[in-house]
Each structure stands twice: as C-alpha cells, then as structure tokens.
C-alpha cells in the first residue's frame, strides 16, 4: 500500500519482472541440481546399478535416494527464502521487515517444519517421497542457501538497476510512439498528425486541432481506425464555434 498503483496489465508485461523471475528461477534450479549431482556422482557411483530406484530403496539405490533428498531440501528452502525476496524485489534482504507479515512468517516456518519428516519418518521417506535420510548433505543444502543469498544480493545491488534502466528506456520508446506532434499554424488552419499504434497497425491515435473564435484551440483525441469524413469534421468545427458563443 506504500507504492503507487501500476497500469492495468503492466505487471504481466514488465521486462524487469520477467528478468527477476528468470534469474531467481535459474539460480534455484541450478543450485538444487548441483547438490543432486554432487551426492549422486561424487559421493556415489552415479547411475550405475540403479535399476529399479524409482520403485524401492535398495543398497545400490541409496545414494540416488539421498541425492533426491538433498535436491528436494535445497529447492524447498530456497523457495521459502525467496518468499521474502518477493516482498520487495529491489530491497536487500537485510532491510526487509520480517515481523510485519505474520502469515508469511508462519507459512515459512511451517514449510521448514514439515520438510523434516519427509526425510526421517519410515515409510514416508522411502515409499512416498522416494528419499533417504541425509546427514552430511545438509552442509550442501546450507551452502546452496548461502550462495543464493550472496548472488541475489549482488543482483539487486549491481545488475538489477541496469535492468530497470533498460526497462525505463523501453517504456520511454513505447510512449514516444504513441505521442502526437501537433502543429498550430497561423490563420487557424487545421493540422492533423496520425501516429500508428504499437505494432505498426494501420490507423492509430488521431488528434485533431481546430481554431475557435478568440484565438483558442480545441483538441479532441482518441483511438480511431478510420478517418472521419470532411463533412463530419466541418460539423465538429461548427459545434465548437457555437459552444463558444453560448459560453
């Protein structure tokens, strides 16, 4: 409520927001998959002798189950942390007020609390989530959280301002394409400038300027697909002159 409202539909076509979504999603995905690969291929023997690992937990599949658990824990914690990023995409997490949104804090806390049983409750971890209990893998998970924090803070401080400037430049170009250039000439001669709509579609924003008595000018503008006939334009001028006399 502390920010001005934005134009309808603007958020859905906001280049800055699209860059934010793409970057944070890329970071979360890469960090989670990296943890999976480390557990599966560095600590384990990769995908060798892993037939049937999607069905039951066997000694040959234990490292795959632990890799899944590390990946799942990383993804969940990073998404919960990113919830506070979404409170203000431009402000550092050090300046975010964590206590002024109790429902969000409660949701994040419940998310962390409900994550733990998926690794350590029998039948749930191996038959429902196809995961195995993890121990040293928590170091990888916490490391990915730290890396995500550092990279997101660096993005907000150094890269995002450049993205915002680029977005503003695009918005300025769009605005210029929709502006009118109205020339008022001596003698009250009517001048029309028709600017095409965005995308180059025929027609566009048409603004007509015509002289009224007393050296005043009336302006009417609007989106129109076809030009009005000369007769209709003369009627508009006559109506404007009559209106001035009445006033």
> Within this chain, do residues 212 and 126 fall inside the same structural domain, yes or no?
no
Task: Residue 85: give the domain boundaries.
Answer: 11-176
What gap in Å lies between CA 186 and CA 30, rounded to an integer? 66
> Within this chain, do residues 218 and 194 fall inside the same structural domain, yes or no?
yes
> Within this chain, do residues 199 and 162 fall inside the same structural domain, yes or no?
no
Angle of helix 137-154 versus helix 62-85 axis, rounded to 10? 30
**DSSP three-state, residue 96:** coil
> Within this chain, do residues 135 and 20 fall inside the same structural domain, yes or no?
yes
pLDDT of residue 171: 80
Q: How many domains are contained in the chain?
A: 2
Return the closest-CA partner of residue 237 out of 212, 205, 215, 206: 212
> Within this chain, do residues 88 and 123 fall inside the same structural domain, yes or no?
yes
pLDDT of residue 4: 63
Q: What are 218's strand-pairing partners?
A: 210
pLDDT in tens, 153-200: 999 999 999 999 998 888 887 776 655 444 444 445 444 444 444 444
pLDDT of residue 177: 64
- The token pair at 84 is 């506070």
What gap in Å lies between CA 57 and CA 19, rounded to an integer? 40
> Within this chain, do residues 134 and 67 fall inside the same structural domain, yes or no?
yes
Q: Give domain status of residue 3, yes or no.
A: no
Residue ending a domain, among 141, 176, 211, is: 176
> Within this chain, do residues 146 and 208 fall inside the same structural domain, yes or no?
no
pTM exceeding the 0.85 threshold for the entire prediction: no
Angle of helix 137-154 versus helix 15-37 axis, rounded to 10? 160
> Within this chain, do residues 24 and 96 fall inside the same structural domain, yes or no?
yes
Q: Give domain status of residue 212, yes or no.
A: yes
Residue ending a domain, among 156, 176, 196, is: 176
What gap in Å lies between CA 204 and CA 23, rounded to an integer? 36
What gap in Å lies between CA 42 and CA 44, rounded to an integer? 6
pLDDT in tens, 17-36: 899 999 999 999 999 999 99
Contact 203, 176 (CB under 8 A): no
pLDDT of residue 205: 42
What gap in Å lies between CA 80 and CA 113, rounded to an integer? 12
pLDDT of residue 20: 93
> Within this chain, do residues 114 and 144 fall inside the same structural domain, yes or no?
yes
> Within this chain, do residues 144 and 224 fall inside the same structural domain, yes or no?
no
> Within this chain, do residues 172 and 199 fall inside the same structural domain, yes or no?
no
Residue ending a domain, among 155, 176, 197, is: 176
Ranges of the chain whose pLDDT falls below 50: 180-187, 189-229, 240-247
pLDDT of residue 168: 87
pLDDT of residue 48: 76
- What's phi and psi for 226, nearest 5 deg? -125, 150
What is the pairing mode between strands 217-224 and 191-196? unpaired
Q: What are 217's strand-pairing partners?
A: 211
């Amino acid at each position: 409520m502390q920010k001005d409202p934005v134009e309808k539909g603007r958020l859905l076509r906001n280049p800055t927001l699209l860059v934010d979504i793409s970057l944070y999603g890329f970071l979360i995905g890469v960090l989670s998959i990296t943890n999976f690969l480390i557990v599966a291929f560095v600590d384990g023997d990769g995908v060798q002798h892993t037939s049937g690992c999607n069905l039951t937990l066997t000694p040959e599949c234990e490292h795959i189950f632990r890799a899944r658990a590390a990946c799942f824990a990383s993804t969940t914690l990073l998404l919960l942390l990113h919830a506070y990023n979404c409170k203000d995409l431009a402000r550092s997490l050090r300046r975010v007020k964590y206590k002024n949104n109790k429902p969000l804090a409660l949701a994040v806390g419940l998310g962390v609390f409900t994550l733990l049983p998926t690794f350590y409750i029998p039948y749930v971890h191996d038959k429902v989530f196809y995961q195995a209990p993890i121990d040293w893998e928590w170091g990888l998970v916490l490391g990915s959280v730290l890396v995500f924090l550092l990279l997101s803070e660096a993005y907000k401080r150094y890269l995002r301002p450049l993205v915002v400037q680029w977005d503003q430049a695009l918005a300025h170009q769009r605005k210029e394409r929709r502006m009118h250039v109205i020339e008022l000439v001596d003698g009250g001669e009517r001048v029309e400038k028709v600017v095409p709509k965005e995308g180059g579609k025929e027609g566009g924003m048409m603004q007509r300027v015509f002289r009224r008595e007393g050296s005043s000018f009336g302006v009417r503008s609007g989106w129109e697909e076809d030009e009005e006939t000369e007769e209709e334009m003369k009627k508009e001028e006559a109506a404007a002159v009559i209106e001035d006399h009445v006033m």
